[in-house]
C-alpha cells in the first residue's frame, strides 16, 4: 500500500469517527433536553423543578438558585446557537425562569446577595456565604439579554458582576462569612474559575465589556495558575492567598474534574489572547496531569476527590464517579485537540466519552445518572437534585457537537488520492 493511500485511509477513518461522534452527541443532546423540557417546567410560578427522579417525577419542589440560573442560561444558549432549538417554547420557559430569578433570587433587595434555596413560590430558605448563586444569576441575565435584546437583563448582569468583583477583590464582608482567627486564609480555585468564566460570558462579541474585563481575566488566570504546586506535579484545589501550599487535608485536596474544567476555561482564555506558551502549559498541567492521576486504572472513570500525598481522602464520596467531571473532561480534551491537533488528546476524548456514554447514560428515560460507585454501578437513580440540573450534560454535548462540526469542516474534501499525491492533514485551529 502506498504512503499516500494509507494517509488517505487514515483520514477517512478519522472523518467517519468524528462524524459518528457528532451524530451521537447531537442525538443525546436532543434526548437530554426533551427530558428537562417535559418534566422540569413550573407553569404556575415560573422557574424549574430540578429534584427529579429517574423517570422525571418531581420528588421535591425546592428551587436552587444555582440550578435556576444554569437552566435559564442553557435554554438561551441553545436557542441562540442551534437552529433546531430556536423554538418559542424554549425561549418562553427561559424568560419565565429569568423573571422568577428577578422576582425572588435576591434575599433583601436592593441588596445583591442571592439565596441558595427558594421555596417553589420564591421565598428564601437558605443562603450560602459564597459568590456562586450570584455568578449563575449573572450568566442567566446576560444570556437572556443576548436572545431577547431586552436591556434590563443586561443591566442586571453587569450590576451583579460589579458586585461579585467587589466581594472578591475588595471587600468580602457583604457575603456574611466571618474570618475566624484559626482558619487559614485560603484561595479556592473555584472563585477565579467562575470569574474567568463570567469574563468570557460577558465579553463575548462585546468589545467594550471585553476591554473593561481584560485585566480581570488576566488576574483570574494567574490566580488559577497558582494552584499548580509541587514543582508542577500537582494541581491543588486550595492554596494560600499568596499562592503557597496549605497544611493538612485542605492543602492536599485535589478534584481532578475541577482541574480539567479549569483547564478548558484557561485554554479558551489563552486562545483568545493568542498565547501559545500558556496554551501548551494548560494542556500539560490542567488536562494531562489531573487525568493521569485521577483516572481509575482498575475500573475506569475519574475519581471525585484525591489526596496529593496518596493518603485516604476524608470525603465519603471520594472514590465515586460523578457525571460532571466526565463532562468537563470531554470538553477539555476535545478543545485541546481542536486547538493543537495533538492526536493523543483526541484519543483521550474518545476514552472518556466511551466510558461516560456507557456508564452514565440512561437509554430508557433520558438524561444521565449522576452518581456511580467506584465500579461504575448507579448508586442514586435520581436525574436531578440540589446540585444536578440542566447544565453540565447539555453544555458538554452542545460544546462537543459544535467542536466536532468544526473539526469536520476543516478536513479536506473527500476524494481518492491520485498516484503520488498526499492529502494535507487538517490545520490546528487558528492556523488556517
Q: DSSP of 47-63, one letter per residue?
A: SB--EE-TTS-EEE--E
Instruction: Look at residue 10 in the predicted model and tell me its pLDDT.
Output: 76
Q: What per-residue confidence (pLDDT) applies to 179?
A: 86
**Does pLDDT of 115 surpass 60?**
yes
Given a cut of 70, is residue 419 above it in pLDDT? no
Q: What is the pLDDT of residues 216-273, one digit of tens each?
A: 999 999 999 999 999 999 999 999 999 999 999 999 999 999 999 999 999 999 999 9
Report the predicted TM-score, pTM, of the whole model to 2 decimal places: 0.94
Segment (H or E) for 253: strand 253-254
d(CA 168, CA 131): 8
The 10s digit of each residue's pLDDT in 348-359 is 999 999 999 999
- Full DSSP string of 282-301: HIIIIIIHHHHHHB-TTT-S
Tell me the three cell numbers of residue 340.
Answer: 493543537
Q: How many CB atoms lie within 10 A of CB 410?
A: 15
Q: What is the pLDDT of residue 414?
A: 65
Task: For residue 189, name the pLDDT band (cuts at 50, 70, 90).
Answer: very high
CA distance 147 to 139: 13
Which among 123, 127, 121, 201 is positioned nearest to 161, based on CA atoms? 201
Q: Which of 128, 115, 123, 72 lies closest to 96 in space, CA to CA?
A: 72
Greatest alpha-carbon span in the chain: 76
- Asked if pLDDT for residue 425 goes beyond 70, the answer is no
**Cβ-contact 213, 153 below 8 angstroms:** no
Amino acid at each position: 500500500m502506498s504512503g499516500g493511500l494509507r494517509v488517505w485511509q487514515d483520514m477517512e477513518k478519522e472523518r467517519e469517527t468524528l462524524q459518528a461522534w457528532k451524530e451521537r452527541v447531537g442525538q443525546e443532546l436532543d434526548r437530554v433536553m426533551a427530558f428537562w423540557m417535559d418534566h422540569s417546567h413550573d407553569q404556575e410560578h415560573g422557574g424549574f423543578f430540578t429534584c427529579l427522579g429517574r423517570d422525571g417525577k418531581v420528588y421535591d419542589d425546592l428551587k436552587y438558585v444555582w440550578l435556576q440560573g444554569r437552566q435559564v442560561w442553557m435554554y438561551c444558549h441553545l436557542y441562540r446557537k442551534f437552529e433546531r432549538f430556536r423554538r418559542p417554547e424554549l425561549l418562553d420557559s427561559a424568560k419565565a425562569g429569568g423573571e422568577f430569578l428577578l422576582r425572588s433570587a435576591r434575599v433583601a433587595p436592593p441588596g445583591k446577595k442571592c439565596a441558595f434555596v427558594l421555596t417553589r413560590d420564591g421565598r428564601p430558605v437558605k443562603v450560602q456565604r459564597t459568590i456562586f448563586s450570584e455568578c449563575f444569576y449573572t450568566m442567566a441575565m446576560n444570556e437572556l439579554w443576548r436572545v431577547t435584546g431586552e436591556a434590563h437583563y443586561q443591566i442586571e448582569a453587569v450590576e451583579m458582576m460589579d458586585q461579585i468583583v467587589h466581594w472578591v477583590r475588595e471587600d468580602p464582608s457583604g457575603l456574611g462569612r466571618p474570618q475566624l482567627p484559626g482558619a487559614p486564609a485560603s484561595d479556592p480555585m473555584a472563585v477565579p474559575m467562575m470569574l474567568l468564566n463570567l469574563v468570557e460570558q460577558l465579553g463575548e462579541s462585546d468589545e467594550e465589556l471585553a476591554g473593561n474585563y481584560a485585566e480581570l481575566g488576566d488576574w483570574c488566570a494567574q490566580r488559577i495558575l497558582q494552584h499548580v504546586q509541587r514543582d508542577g506535579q500537582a494541581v491543588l484545589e486550595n492554596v494560600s492567598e499568596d499562592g503557597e501550599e496549605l497544611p493538612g487535608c485542605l492543602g492536599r485536596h485535589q478534584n481532578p474534574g475541577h482541574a480539567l474544567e479549569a483547564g478548558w476555561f484557561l485554554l479558551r482564555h489563552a486562545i483568545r489572547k493568542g498565547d501559545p506558551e500558556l496554551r501548551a502549559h494548560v494542556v500539560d498541567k490542567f488536562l494531562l496531569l489531573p487525568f493521569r492521576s485521577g483516572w481509575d486504572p482498575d475500573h475506569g472513570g475519574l475519581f471525585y476527590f484525591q489526596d496529593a500525598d496518596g493518603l485516604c481522602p476524608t470525603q465519603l464520596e471520594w472514590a465515586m464517579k460523578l457525571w460532571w467531571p466526565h463532562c468537563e473532561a470531554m470538553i477539555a480534551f476535545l478543545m485541546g485537540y481542536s486547538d493543537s491537533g495533538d492526536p493523543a488528546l483526541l484519543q483521550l476524548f474518545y476514552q472518556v466519552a466511551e466510558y461516560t456514554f456507557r456508564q452514565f447514560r440512561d437509554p430508557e428515560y433520558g438524561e444521565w445518572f449522576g452518581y456511580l460507585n467506584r465500579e461504575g454501578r448507579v448508586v442514586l437513580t435520581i436525574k436531578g437534585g440540589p446540585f444536578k440540573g440542566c447544565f453540565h450534560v447539555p453544555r458538554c454535548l452542545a460544546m462537543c457537537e459544535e467542536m466536532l462540526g468544526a473539526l469536520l469542516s476543516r478536513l479536506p474534501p473527500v476524494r481518492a488520492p491520485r498516484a503520488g499525491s498526499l492529502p494535507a492533514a487538517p490545520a490546528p485551529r487558528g492556523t488556517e
